[in-house]
């Protein structure tokens, strides 16, 4: 293999990655606003919103995750110089978006099977139901916008989607203020539904007039569902959605187990969990940037460039992960004090943040690699690796260490770190195998 040309390739990856990172931070801002503003309505509303938000997040992220298949598909077609095929791929993805929207809405409007698992008080359940009903109407706009985002990112122009995400965050605050007095905690979800609808309409309206988007002829004709194209899309997209479900369910179950150790430990865990969500975004964004460039290279018939792009991404993610881990480890006391002044929570939070520093190294490797593999249209094996590692080693090992062996909450974090390390090494080996370029004479 030729020299990596690390810095030129990293610069190209980062040009795509940083708008993706900003978009993810803006989306995280939605949840922060909802939590802070719903908390002012009282413990009952906050509990209902909290439970409803966890259920809604799981459903929405899983369903919209299926649509992430569009980005590598577009990248391959863009690299091959087939703009009209990009338009057809987008039209078929819109049919998939209709399907996952229906699934998401039905799950949130009829949540009885899910709510029964939570066994919550009746008054809290009523608030959770109201939140889920309102949030179900956020699904159509979200799915339509995710298709636009997939197109924009797939052609290497994620800044367009980033601007809309930032607009959405700017709209969220006044809408929350307007709707919370009338709908309670569910007003946060109604605000999200309005924001998502506005963004979808504005984004596609802009795409119809933008010069470079017109080249794809997305809107020049109507395309009925082509089941062969939809099946191919789902072969790539369903494992992505399932991977998100595995990840979210493993982390949520970990929080439930840790809640057994008391409110101080549970509160410290929430601080650590919040930090992992933020630190995860950088390697994930790098992976998405690399997946676009790798897909474009593969579409253009240059598998060696695709391998070099993936390799640069992994090296950069690990290097930046080590830097971030050092910041977390040595800055744990300062970071913990920024989150809490509770004398009983603070020392536990410091300990957990130091564990997050170790956790993040493994997280950076797996998050970047699994996204790079999507650029190679490889999603099934990573999904299986996720299931075995996160559910088996992470949850199973956490229960054994934390509860059976009585190590306590740190046992769950150590098992979680081990699970991500196993996942990261496994998907990295898989990347090196699938990206291997045959040499002359082989």
The residue among 216, 211, 278 whose CA lies nearest residue 25 is 278
State yes or no: pLDDT of 335 exceeds 80: yes
Per-residue pLDDT reduced to its tens digit, 224-282 = 999 999 999 999 999 999 999 999 999 888 988 888 888 889 888 888 988 999 999 99
Q: Quick one: angle between helices 6-39 and 263-299, nearest 10?
A: 140
Burial 253-273 (b: 16+ CB within 10 A, else e): bbeebbeebeebbbbbbbbbb
Give the total residue count for the chain. Answer: 442
Distance of CA 197 to the CA centre of its chain: 20
Predicted local distance difference test score (pLDDT) of residue 440: 42
State yes or no: pLDDT of 64 exceeds 70: yes
Q: Helix, strand, or coil here: 262?
A: coil
Which has more confidence, 42 or 200?
A: 200
**Rounded to two decimals, what is the model's pTM?**
0.93
Predicted local distance difference test score (pLDDT) of residue 36: 75
The whole-angstrom separation of Cα 376 and Cα 293 is: 10
Residue 118 binned pLDDT confidence (cut-offs 50, 70, 90): low
Per-residue pLDDT reduced to its tens digit, 286-301 = 999 999 999 999 999 9
């Amino acid at each position: 293999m030729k020299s990596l040309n690390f810095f030129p390739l990293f610069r190209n990856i980062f040009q795509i990655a940083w708008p993706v990172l900003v978009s993810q931070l803006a989306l995280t801002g939605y949840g922060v606003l909802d939590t802070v503003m719903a908390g002012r309505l009282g413990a009952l509303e906050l509990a209902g919103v909290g439970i409803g938000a966890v259920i809604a997040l799981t459903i929405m992220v899983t369903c919209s995750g299926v649509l992430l298949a569009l980005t590598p598909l577009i990248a391959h077609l863009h690299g091959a110089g087939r703009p009209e095929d990009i338009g057809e791929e987008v039209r078929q993805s819109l049919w998939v978006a209709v399907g996952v929207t229906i699934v998401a809405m039905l799950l949130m409007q009829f949540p009885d099977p899910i709510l029964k698992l939570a066994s919550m008080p009746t008054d809290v359940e009523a608030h959770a139901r109201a939140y889920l009903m309102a949030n179900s109407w956020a699904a159509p706009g979200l799915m339509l916008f995710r298709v636009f985002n997939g197109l924009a990112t797939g052609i290497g122009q994620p800044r367009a989607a980033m601007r809309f995400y930032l607009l959405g965050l700017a709209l969220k605050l006044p809408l929350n203020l307007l709707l919370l007095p009338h709908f309670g905690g569910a007003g946060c979800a109604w605000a999200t539904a309005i924001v998502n609808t506005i963004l979808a309409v504005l984004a596609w309206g802009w795409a119809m007039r933008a010069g470079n988007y017109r080249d794809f002829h997305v809107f020049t004709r109507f395309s009925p569902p082509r089941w062969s194209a939809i099946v191919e899309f789902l072969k790539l997209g369903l494992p992505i959605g399932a991977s998100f479900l595995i990840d979210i369910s493993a982390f949520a179950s970990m929080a439930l187990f840790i809640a057994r150790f008391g409110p101080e430990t549970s509160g410290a865990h929430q601080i650590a969990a919040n930090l992992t969500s933020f630190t995860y975004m950088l390697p994930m964004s790098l992976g998405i940037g690399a997946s676009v460039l790798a897909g474009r290279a593969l579409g253009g018939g240059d598998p060696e460039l695709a391998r070099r792009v993936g390799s640069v991404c992994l090296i950069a993610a690990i290097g930046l992960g080590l830097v971030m881990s050092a910041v977390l480890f040595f800055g744990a006391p300062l970071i913990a004090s920024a989150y809490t002044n509770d004398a009983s929570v603070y020392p536990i939070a410091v300990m957990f943040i130091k564990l997050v520093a170790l956790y993040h190294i493994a997280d950076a490797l797996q998050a970047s690699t699994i996204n790079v593999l999507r650029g190679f249209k490889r999603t099934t094996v990573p999904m299986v690796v996720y299931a075995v590692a996160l559910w088996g080693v992470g949850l199973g090992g956490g229960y054994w260490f934390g509860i059976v062996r009585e190590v306590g909450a740190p046992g769950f974090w150590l098992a979680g770190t081990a699970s991500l390390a196993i996942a990261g090494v496994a998907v990295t080996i898989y990347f090196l195998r699938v990206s291997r370029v045959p040499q002359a004479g082989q």
